[in-house]
């Protein structure tokens, strides 16, 4: 019955960051392939059933959560700081899943090639037949990689009420539409997404597509001045320029958002202010100073978020 398990959210950040486990057929035996992710590298090893069970049990001493799928059920396992374990079980929706025992299977994408996805067709990534446009395959991969991050934070999102997601600087909204499609269409969450951007034409185009799919809603406006929500569950800010990222983080903290997905961009604020006599020779190189400013900026942001209780 076992299909797969994903063990994530480690207690210590300097070792394995994620483990994926699935059954494989090898020389007429069923083994369990363990895929360990660490330092941007992936390591594989195969275990028998007893070894795999012990491996998972030991891993759950070091990690805070696991998502496991069988043909009939989806399990979510959460472990508190004190070691208390909570297990939630839900019936698989639709047809029961089949087990793939192939040892070297092709890359699995959350949004599969060959299965038509309306918003990808309208955004020019996919044809009507569900094939990926050759020049857009990098965008297709990027969207799927992003959805893997969303998959990791599912345990933080409430299932018993509407989930509010705010995307600051949404742009053409490839990823905004991907979030909505994944959470609402594939996972059954009740979703309200607000996309915010300064460009009038971009927001207009997004709203036309949003109406077509029944999605909710896109707005033109500045991150710093936005006051349209009192409570937000997830804040997404991808490539918001300079201090726009900081405004977005401050808003997210003020809302006590459970999840923040942020990729900063062009960080000039500290670059203009940094002075240091000892490091002056290094700072004479514009590129070096720019990178240093970005690192310092992100370190300050990380400490700020940690102070506010974020992991």
Cα 265 to Cα 204: distance, rounded to the nearest angstrom: 24
Q: What would the mean pLDDT of 235-263 be, rounded to a whole number?
A: 87
- 145-154, 211-220, 224-233, 246-255: lowest mean pLDDT where? 211-220
- pLDDT over 90 at 259, yes or no: yes
pLDDT tens readout for residues 146-194: 898 888 888 888 888 889 888 887 776 778 888 888 898 888 888 888 8
Give the C-alpha separation, 146 to 127, whole Å. Answer: 21
3-state secondary structure of 80: coil
Mean pLDDT of the chain: 85
Give the number of other Cβ atoms within 10 Å of residue 105's Cβ.
Answer: 10
Q: Is the pLDDT of residue 106 over 60?
A: no
Residue 41: the pLDDT is 85
Residue 80 has pLDDT above 70, yes or no: yes
pLDDT value at residue 32 = 92
At which residue do the structure tokens 């036309």 appear?
208
The 10s digit of each residue's pLDDT in 280-305 is 998 899 899 999 999 999 999 999 99
Q: What is the mean pLDDT of residues 42-46?
A: 88
| 12 phi-psi bin (left φ>0, alpha ψ -120 to 50, beta other) | beta
In percent, how much of the chain has pLDDT > 90? 26
pLDDT digits (tens, 9 = 90+) for 49-76: 999 999 999 999 999 999 999 888 889 9
Strands 191-197 and 218-220: parallel
pLDDT score of 104: 55
């Amino acid at each position: 019955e076992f299909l797969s398990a994903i063990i994530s959210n480690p207690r210590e950040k300097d070792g394995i960051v994620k483990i994926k486990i699935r059954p494989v057929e090898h020389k007429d035996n069923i083994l369990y392939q363990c895929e360990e992710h660490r330092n941007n590298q992936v390591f594989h090893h195969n275990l028998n059933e007893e070894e795999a069970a012990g491996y998972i049990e030991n891993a759950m001493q070091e990690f805070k959560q696991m998502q496991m799928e069988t043909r009939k059920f989806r399990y979510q396992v959460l472990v508190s700081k004190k070691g208390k374990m909570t297990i939630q079980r839900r019936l698989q929706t639709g047809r029961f899943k089949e087990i793939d025992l192939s040892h070297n299977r092709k890359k699995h994408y959350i949004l599969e090639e060959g299965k038509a996805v309306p918003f990808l067709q309208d955004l020019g990534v996919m044809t009507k037949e569900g094939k990926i446009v050759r020049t857009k395959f990098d965008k297709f991969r990027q969207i799927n990689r992003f959805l893997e991050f969303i998959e990791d934070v599912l345990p933080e999102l409430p299932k018993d009420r509407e989930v509010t997601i705010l995307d600051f600087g949404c742009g053409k909204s490839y990823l905004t539409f991907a979030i909505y499609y994944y959470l609402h269409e594939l996972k059954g969450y009740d979703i309200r997404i607000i996309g915010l951007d300064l460009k009038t034409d971009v927001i207009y185009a997004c709203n036309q597509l949003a109406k077509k799919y029944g999605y909710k809603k896109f707005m033109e406006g500045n991150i710093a001045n936005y006051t349209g929500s009192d409570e937000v569950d997830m804040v997404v800010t991808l490539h918001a320029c300079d201090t726009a990222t900081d405004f977005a983080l401050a808003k997210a903290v003020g809302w006590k958002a459970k999840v923040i997905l942020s990729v900063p961009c062009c960080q000039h604020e500290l670059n203009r202010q940094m002075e240091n006599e000892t490091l002056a020779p290094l700072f004479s190189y514009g590129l070096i100073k720019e990178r240093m400013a970005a690192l310092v900026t992100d370190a300050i942001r990380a400490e700020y978020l940690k102070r506010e209780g974020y992991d």
